[in-house]
Amino acid sequence: MPLLPLKKVPAYSPRSRTLPGLCALLLALLSPLTVAQHVMTINSNSDVVTETAPANDEVLAAAPADLMMRFSTYVRLVKLVVKAPGDKPVDIGFRYNPDASRVFFWDLPPLPAADYYTVEWAAIDPVNFVARGSFNFSFGPNARPPSELIPQEEELAPVIVPDFRLIDQGF
């Protein structure tokens, strides 16, 4: 049986380097950032896990230039609001984009000095459940963690209402 000549095949092609290159770039960009990972279950129908930068309750030396949100699955971000204390919103130019993604970066305008900022977000997951949550951060030389500044909600005792249908009315 005669041997067939072998074709010379390149060890790699430019296309084979694209995905690993993008992954390496993303890892390099995110490595110096502090991120927080948490499950947003309050007021949420979804169990989407998020990581954020700045992290929840983080104190930064200076105002952040951008926000980063990474989700455990592809979502459509439908709400992104930055608020100063007193629920005063900051115009960040967010507009709904129907494209789904797992990672969102959003440039921030220069933020004026404030005790803390709250970021509220909502997203639609792949099964059309709503995931929503919020995180807080502060910045500046004398900044304190937002959890020390935000008033704690009063925990109310449960109210027990009798079911009068179960009480013998003597009829």
Domain assignment present for 103:
yes
Cα–Cα distance for residue pair 160/154, rounded to 1 Å: 18
52: pLDDT strictly greater than 80:
yes
| Cα dihedral 11, 15, 16, 19 in deg (nearest 10) | 160
pLDDT at 118: 94
pLDDT at 159: 72
Preceding peptide of 85 cis, ω within 30°: no
CATH number at residue 79: 2.60.40.1220
| CA-atom Rg of the chain in angstroms | 25
Tokens 């130019």 belong to 93
Distance of alpha carbon 41 from the chain centroid = 13
102: left (phi over 0), alpha (psi -120 to 50) or beta: alpha
Domain with 63, as residue range(s), is 35-139
Domain assignment present for 119:
yes
Lowest mean pLDDT among 12-21, 67-76, 102-111, 134-143: 12-21
Cα–Cα distance for residue pair 140/125, rounded to 1 Å: 35
Domain assignment present for 7:
no
Domain assignment present for 165:
no
Domain assignment present for 3:
no
Domain assignment present for 101:
yes
Tokens 């008033």 belong to 151
Domain assignment present for 167:
no
pLDDT at 63: 95
Q: How many domains would you assign to the chain?
A: 1
Burial of 64 (0-12, 13-18, 19+ CB in 10 A): middle
- Between 6 and 150, residue with greater pLDDT: 150
Cα–Cα distance for residue pair 120/110, rounded to 1 Å: 18
Domain assignment present for 51:
yes
116: pLDDT strictly greater than 90:
yes
- Around Cβ 132, how many Cβ atoms within 10 Å? 18
pLDDT digits (tens, 9 = 90+) for 63-82: 999 999 999 999 999 999 99
pTM of the predicted protein model: 0.64
